[in-house]
């Protein structure tokens, strides 16, 4: 039983290790020459990795320059090297369909060495090995930086969802205020109709022109009452929809906060 357990554990560990990206050698176009490089494929967007490299180097006190589409970090000491190196980084999206997968290219040269005119020798191979170690050693920082970007974006998503919910609550107050105003107008309209009906009675056996004028005013009040009823119904419908929207948006806020909590829990 123990043998089976250890076998299973070993296979699982091997699978995890094999799943980690590995750096490989290749060739990059540089000022009309083909130069040896090391490269690694990582499951993060190219703009995030570009910033992650910049952040990694900034913590070591190195700011980038730019040469022929590469960002250059000069005077970097690779592990196991007896000289400092200039690091030429370029990050590209793997493909149009894989926007969240990037390839990091790294060319290496001795500090102040002219890459396009150098002669390749055994020391170049040693630099490539150092470059592989560097890229693979940067994977943890790539993951951490990408996580912080995700957290920042998710914080913005939570804020946006919360604002939408707050706006709906504010709209509810506006609808309720509008309903009260309409209801006040309805109450006043009914009083005005009663008074106008009494006014009409005065002219039953009197002036026809005043009678017609009074009846017209009553009709206008009746029309206003119908408009108020319609407006009140529309506002009530909007209020009910608003309450449904609030509930849905409240659920959305919780969902976005849960995602944020999951991301922040991954911080090491």
Tens digit of each residue's pLDDT (9 = 90 or more) over 74-87: 999 998 788 899 99
Which residues partner with 88 through β-bridges? Answer: 72, 107
Residue of 43, 23, 52 whose CA lies nearest to 99: 43
d(CA 134, CA 251): 44
**Please, what is the average pLDDT of the chain?**
89
Q: How many other C-beta atoms can be found within 10 angstroms of the C-beta atom of residue 97? A: 7
Digits of tens for pLDDT over the chain (268 positions)? 544 444 444 444 444 445 688 999 999 999 888 899 999 999 999 999 999 999 999 999 999 999 989 999 999 999 878 889 999 999 999 998 998 999 999 999 988 888 888 776 655 666 889 999 999 999 999 999 999 999 999 999 999 999 999 999 999 999 999 999 999 999 999 999 999 998 888 877 777 788 888 889 989 999 999 999 999 999 999 999 999 999 999 999 999 999 999 999 999 7
Pairing state of beta strands 84-95 and 24-30?
Answer: unpaired
pTM score over 0.85: no
Q: SS3 for 267?
A: coil
Topology of the domain covering 21-137? Alpha-D-Glucose-1,6-Bisphosphate; Chain A, domain 4 (3.30.530)
Residue of 81, 97, 95 whose CA lies nearest to 130: 81
d(CA 24, CA 155): 36
Number of helices (H), then strands (E), belonging to the chain: the values are 5, 6
Question: What's the pLDDT score for residue 11?
Answer: 44
Q: How far is CA 2 from the centre of its chain?
A: 47
* CA triple 14-24-144, angle to 5 deg: 65
Tens digit of each residue's pLDDT (9 = 90 or more) over 126-159: 688 999 999 999 999 999 999 999 999 999 999 9
Q: How far is CA 116 from the centre of its chain?
A: 41
> Which pair of structure tokens corresponds to residue 68?
């022929």
Max CA distance (Å), the chain: 122
């Amino acid at each position: 039983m123990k043998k089976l357990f250890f076998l299973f554990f070993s296979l699982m560990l091997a699978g995890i290790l094999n799943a980690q990206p590995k750096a490989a050698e290749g060739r990059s176009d540089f000022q009309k020459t083909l130069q040896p490089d090391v490269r690694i494929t990582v499951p993060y967007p190219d703009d995030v990795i570009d910033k992650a490299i910049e952040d990694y180097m900034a913590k070591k006190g190195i700011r980038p320059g730019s040469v022929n589409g590469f960002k250059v970090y000069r005077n970097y000491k690779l592990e196991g090297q007896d000289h400092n190196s200039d690091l030429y980084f370029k990050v590209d999206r793997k493909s149009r369909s894989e926007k969240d997968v990037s390839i990091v290219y790294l060319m290496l040269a001795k500090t102040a060495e002219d890459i396009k005119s150098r002669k390749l020798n055994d020391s170049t191979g040693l630099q490539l090995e150092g470059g592989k170690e560097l890229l693979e050693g940067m994977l943890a920082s790539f993951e951490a930086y990408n996580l912080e970007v995700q957290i920042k974006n998710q914080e913005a998503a939570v804020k946006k969802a919360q604002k939408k919910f707050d706006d709906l609550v504010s709209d509810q107050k506006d609808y309720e205020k509008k309903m009260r105003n309409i209801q006040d107008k309805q109450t006043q309209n009914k009083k005005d109709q009663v008074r106008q009906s009494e006014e009409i009675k005065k002219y039953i056996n009197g002036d026809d022109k005043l009678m017609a004028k009074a009846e017209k005013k009553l009709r206008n009040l009746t029309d206003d009452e119908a408009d108020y009823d319609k407006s009140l119904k529309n506002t009530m419908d909007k209020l009910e929809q608003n309450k449904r929207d609030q509930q849905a948006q409240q659920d959305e806020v919780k969902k976005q906060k849960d995602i944020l909590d999951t991301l922040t829990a991954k911080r090491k």
